[in-house]
Amino acid sequence: MAFTLFSSKNRIINLVLNDHSVRFVELKQTDPPAAQKWCERFLPPGIITDGKITDSDSLANILEECIDEWKIQRRQVRFIVPDPLVIIRKVSVPADIQEDEMKGYLYLELGSSIHLPFEEPVFDFYPLANNGKTKNLLLFAAPEQYVMEYANLLTSLKLTPIAADISPLSLYRLYHHLGYSRDHEVLFTVQFDLTSVNLCIFEGSVPLVMRQFPLPFNIDHWDVKHDNFNEFKYTGETEELVIQFEEILNEISKLADFYRFTLTNEKRDVTKFLLNGDHPMLPAIYDEIKDRFDTPIEMISLDTDFNKKQGSVPFTLLLSLGLALKEVQ
C-alpha cells in the first residue's frame, strides 16, 4: 500500500518531512537490516504548514544544505506524504471489476460516486471483503498537487523520488518487523509529534480509519537546541500543554468508541495502543494514556535492533526506519 508514482532500485535514503523537521535514515542492506546513517534538521515555522510547502525557496535552501552536509547527493529517495494531506476511506465497487481494472475504475468514479475533499488525487487501494455483489476497498488518497510539490522539489535538488508512503503504514511496518504484532489484534497507533497528532486504528496490518490533528506550536514558548538532533524544552505556561493533551485524549476516546460502536457494532474493540512520536513530553503522554484507558499501551524499543556500531538510533526516527523497511521485508 503506497502511492505508486515512481519506479525503484537501491541505494535509497528515507526522508520524513513535517512542519518542524527534516529527518532521514539509510539502512545497510544486511540480514537483518541495520541503520547505517541518520540525521535531522530543524525547520523554522512557516516553511511547511499543515503538511503543505509554504516557503519553497527556504525549504529548497535548507534541503540543499542537508544534502551536502549529509553527503546524500544524487540518491534515490522514499518520502512520507505528510499526514494532513492523506485520507483513508472505505469504498464499495462492483464485484466484477478485475484487479487490473481497479485503478482505472476508481479514477473514473472519483468525483462522481466516490467523493474526496480535493480534486486530482494520487491514490492507492487495498482490497477488503467481497460479498459476491460488491467489493469493499480501502482507498488511500492525497492531493496530487501537494505530493508532486515534494517530488518535484527533491528532483530539482538532483535526488530521485521512487516511492511515497504514509506514516501509519511506515510505523506498522517497523512494529511488525520487530515482532510486536499479534494475531487478531486491533492496534490503535498514536503518533504524537511536536506540531501534530495522527491517530490510526489497524485490524491486523490494515489501517481502517485515520484522524489527524494539528497542535498549536509557538516557537517563543520553546527552547530549541540544534545539535546533531533537536532538543526541545517547553518554557511556556504548563496549562496550555495540559489543555492540548486533554483535547487529544478526548479524540482518542472518540475514535476508539467510533471503531467499537459504529465500525464493528460492538463486536470488536481496540486491544492495544502503540505510542510513538517526537514530542519531548512523550513519557508523560504515555502515563496519561495508561491512566485514562484500560487498554494496554506499548512503545517501540530499538535496544537490540538497528543499533549497531554507529550508536543508538533516536526514537524520533522510528518513522524513517519504518519507511526504510519498505520493500525490504
> Any idea where the domains of the chain sit in the sequence?
12-84+144-324, 85-143
Collect all residues with Cβ–Cβ distance below 8 Å to 94 and sequence separation of at least 6.
133, 134, 135
| The residue to which cell 511536536 is assigned | 194
The H-assigned helical ranges of 210-308 are: 238-257, 282-292
Q: What is the dihedral of CA 247, 248, 250, 251, to 10 degrees?
A: 120
**pLDDT, tens digit only, all 329 positions of the chain:** 455 444 444 579 999 999 999 999 998 876 667 788 899 999 999 999 999 999 999 999 999 999 999 999 999 999 999 999 999 998 999 999 988 899 999 989 987 888 888 889 999 999 987 888 899 999 999 999 999 999 999 999 999 999 999 999 999 999 999 999 999 999 999 999 999 999 999 999 999 999 999 999 999 999 988 776 788 999 999 999 999 999 999 999 999 999 999 999 999 999 999 999 999 999 999 999 999 999 999 999 876 555 444 457 788 899 999 999 987 64
How far is CA 47 from each of CA 54, 94, 112, 167, 245, rounded to the nearest angstrom? 5, 43, 35, 20, 25
Does the bond joining 32 to the residue before it have cis omega, within 30 degrees of 0? yes
How far is CA 265 from each of CA 92, 137, 208, 257, 258, rounded to the nearest angstrom? 19, 19, 15, 10, 9
pTM over 0.85: yes
In CATH terms, the fold of domain 85-143 is Dna Ligase; domain 1 (3.30.1490)
The grid coordinates of residue 279 equal 514530542
* Residues 292, 290: Cα–Cα separation, whole Å: 6
How high is the pLDDT of residue 306? Answer: 54
How high is the pLDDT of residue 310? Answer: 45
How high is the pLDDT of residue 5? Answer: 47
Arch. (CATH architecture) of 12-84+144-324: 2-Layer Sandwich (3.30)
How high is the pLDDT of residue 113? Answer: 85
How high is the pLDDT of residue 303? Answer: 63
Domains 12-84+144-324 and 85-143 share a fold: no
How high is the pLDDT of residue 30? Answer: 65
Pairing of strands 134-143, 87-94: antiparallel
